[in-house]
Amino acid sequence: MIPGIRENLLNEDYQVPINTTATDGSEFNSKVAALGLARYASITFYVKGDHASCSKQVIFKIVSFDSKRNLWDTEPLMEVSLAANGTAKVQKTVAFNPDIEAIKLLSVQNQETVAGYTVDVNVSVFPN
């Protein structure tokens, strides 16, 4: 990632089926945001319901990388929950001071249980 330029972690919005947890490497492939040289960063989480009555929580999990062990963490660095609001776009931006090497989107959970209540999601990172 280039400092000062916001980039999505997913190439395009991903549609999460009802009552499903979509994970990196299975349902989608997250880009890696290298933050080793960033002084600060912000992450924006985006949700858009595909039905006017969508209202349940969508839970995003972000993990960090440890080059010493050459492994991604198994527990999330950050977990953010957003409530879908029908077909309106909902987003939340979280600012943080990244004293970490890299992050990626681990999973997204759609808690809707009614058929057709899928949600479109994406995450963007702005390092600086």
The reported pTM is 0.95
Closest CA to 105 of 6, 15, 41, 32: 32
At 62-104, the pLDDT tens digits run 999 998 999 999 999 999 999 999 999 999 999 988 888 999 9
The answer to whether residues 125 and 10 touch, using CB atoms and an 8 Å cutoff, is no
**Structural domains present in the chain:** 7-127 (2.60.120.680)
Neighbours of 89 (CB within 10 A): 10
